[in-house]
């Protein structure tokens, strides 16, 4: 690895284990170290500035220099830096945040259970489904259905629910009682000539068949993101969720909606559930809840589930679940301030105003020779690179075409993320049209370099 023995890069390699990283390559190449940020820009240790086209991990919605969030944290830190919510203890800021979230919910909800990450929130939802069914006398109704290419976190349960085989390998996953339904990606999985509506019909029928084959008395819940983020910004086909939800209602299967990426404006509504007409029984959010300034997540719980939980906890005198940092007052204070900013500045309205420009930047790439599909909604987009446009043939994964484009984008001062050979972009929600245009120009330069490098492999 290059760098001086006592450099930050060398110290990182010697001490830090990085998630979602090629560990061997990291030992040789070292880290990409960011020193500071402002607005939609971040600056590395050498002083080079980049457009942060991924909002960190889809999360820094209000950018990297929102002083109000810093001040909110400082005020709460000085007043009460920590409080727990075990054993009935609480704090005004935590109470106010729960009330605020319930008022924003796309469907009526009863209670909020706080944690620190989206993984924890989704894992909690699974436990609550089981707790609810045990309370209702249905202990055998415990199977949870995820989707191929879906992503829900990295706990044992949420990695299992994620339908990405690379996350399962080496970890003895998935666990029992986890099923996977079809990925709703029309471009990749529709039959020749099959419309979006017909594709949705087929996927809903396949889900019904899966439930019947397993036995409806054993299938407890279905979990889905409104838009598959880590799966490659896969926007659901028309009528898909309408038809899937009808199947869930028919067989008494609860609906867990994972709003970790889509929540708080990313799709052009406060929640992706509003964009796509979802009616969750449990809903999980994190990331933009605090604009990622502090770790916090929330699981929304519908009244029938909460009432069953009360009955079940009465048997032993305790609801035996929670986290040390559930409802942490400083994280809650920052989240409340973030929600104030979303409302006062009409961030959702801003997303709606600039999203057409953002989507056009990426959809204008659809005719480029390596682009199979350019897709997205709101301020999230994905560009799928293929070796053969007509046949939709992917590149050999060993070529790492998406990773090459990502590296070229970084050279031009743009941070995007390669998910296999789909390169995705989700800038902070405060991005302006001028910044979108500059983002697009840098992406096009990176794509042009990728074409030069890989067109021969596509021949």
pLDDT, tens digit (0-9, with 9 covering 90-100), for 266-278: 999 999 999 999 9
Task: Name the phi and psi angles at 54, rounded to 5.
Answer: -115, 10
The residue among 252, 237, 161, 163 whose CA lies nearest residue 204 is 237
What residues contact 297, with CB distance under 8 A and at least 6 apart?
A: 114, 115, 116, 117, 118, 120, 121, 260, 284, 285, 286, 289
Segments of the chain scoring below 50 in pLDDT: 1
Q: Which residues pair with 285 in a beta bridge?
A: 298
The reply to whether 68-344 shares the fold of 32-65+346-458 is no
Confidence (pLDDT) at 179: 98
Q: Which residues pair with 146 in a beta bridge?
A: 180
- Which fold does the domain 32-65+346-458 belong to in CATH? 3.90.1150
Confidence (pLDDT) at 4: 73
Q: Are 210 and 178 in contact (CB under 8 A)?
A: no
Confidence (pLDDT) at 459: 62
pLDDT, tens digit (0-9, with 9 covering 90-100), for 230-254: 999 999 999 999 999 999 999 999 9
Confidence (pLDDT) at 147: 98
Residue ranges of domains in the chain: 32-65+346-458, 68-344
Q: Is 89 exposed, middle or buried (0-12, 13-18, 19+ CB in 10 A)?
A: exposed
Q: Are 200 and 239 in contact (CB under 8 A)?
A: yes
Peptide bond before residue 355 is cis, with ω within 30 degrees of 0:
no
Confidence (pLDDT) at 117: 98
Q: Are 387 and 399 in contact (CB under 8 A)?
A: no
Instruction: Please tell me the CATH code under which domain 68-344 is placed.
Output: 3.40.640.10
Task: State how far the Cα of 268 lies from the Cα of 355, in Å rounded to an integer.
Answer: 8
Confidence (pLDDT) at 140: 97
Q: Are 434 and 63 in contact (CB under 8 A)?
A: no
């Amino acid at each position: 690895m290059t760098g001086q023995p006592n450099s930050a890069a060398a110290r990182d390699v010697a001490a830090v284990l990085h998630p979602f990283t090629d560990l061997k390559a990291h030992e040789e190449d070292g880290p990409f170290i960011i020193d500071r940020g402002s607005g939609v820009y971040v600056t590395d240790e050498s002083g080079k500035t980049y457009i942060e086209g991924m909002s960190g991990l889809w999360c820094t919605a209000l950018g990297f220099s929102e002083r109000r969030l810093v001040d909110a944290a400082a005020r709460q830190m000085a007043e009460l830096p920590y409080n727990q919510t075990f054993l009935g203890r609480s704090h005004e800021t935590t109470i106010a945040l729960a009330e605020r979230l319930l008022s924003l919910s796309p469907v009526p909800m009863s209670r909020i259970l706080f944690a620190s990450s989206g993984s924890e929130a989704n894992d909690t939802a699974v436990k609550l489904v089981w707790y609810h069914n045990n309370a209702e006398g249905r202990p055998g109704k415990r199977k949870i259905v995820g989707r191929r290419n879906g992503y829900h976190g990295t706990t044992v349960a949420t990695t299992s629910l994620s339908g990405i085989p690379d996350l399962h390998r080496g970890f003895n996953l998935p666990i029992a009682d986890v099923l996977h339904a079809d990925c709703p990606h029309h471009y990749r999985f529709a039959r020749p000539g099959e419309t979006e509506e017909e594709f949705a019909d087929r996927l809903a029928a396949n889900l019904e068949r899966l439930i019947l084959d397993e036995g409806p008395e054993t299938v407890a819940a279905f979990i889905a993101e409104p838009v598959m983020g880590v799966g490659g910004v896969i926007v659901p086909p028309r009528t898909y969720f309408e038809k899937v939800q009808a199947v869930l209602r028919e067989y008494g299967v609860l609906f867990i909606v994972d709003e970790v990426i889509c929540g708080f404006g990313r799709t052009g509504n406060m929640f992706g559930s509003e964009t796509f007409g979802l009616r969750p029984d449990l809903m999980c959010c994190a990331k933009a809840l605090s604009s990622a300034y502090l770790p916090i997540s929330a699981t929304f719980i519908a009244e029938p589930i909460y009432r069953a939980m009360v009955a079940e906890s009465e048997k032993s005198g305790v609801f035996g679940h929670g986290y040390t940092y559930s409802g942490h007052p400083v994280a809650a204070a920052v989240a409340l301030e973030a929600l104030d900013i979303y409302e006062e500045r009409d961030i959702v309205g801003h997303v709606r105003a600039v999203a057409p420009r953002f989507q056009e930047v990426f959809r204008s790439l659809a005719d480029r020779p390596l682009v199979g599909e350019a897709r997205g909604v709101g301020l999230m987009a994905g560009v799928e690179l293929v070796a053969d446009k007509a046949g939709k043939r992917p590149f050999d994964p060993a070529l790492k075409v998406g990773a090459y484009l990502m590296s070229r984008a970084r050279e031009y001062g743009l941070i995007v993320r390669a998910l296999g050979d789909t390169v995705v972009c989700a800038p902070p929600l405060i991005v302006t049209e001028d910044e979108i245009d500059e983002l697009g120009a840098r992406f096009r330069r990176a794509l042009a370099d990728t074409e030069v490098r890989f067109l021969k492999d596509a021949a």
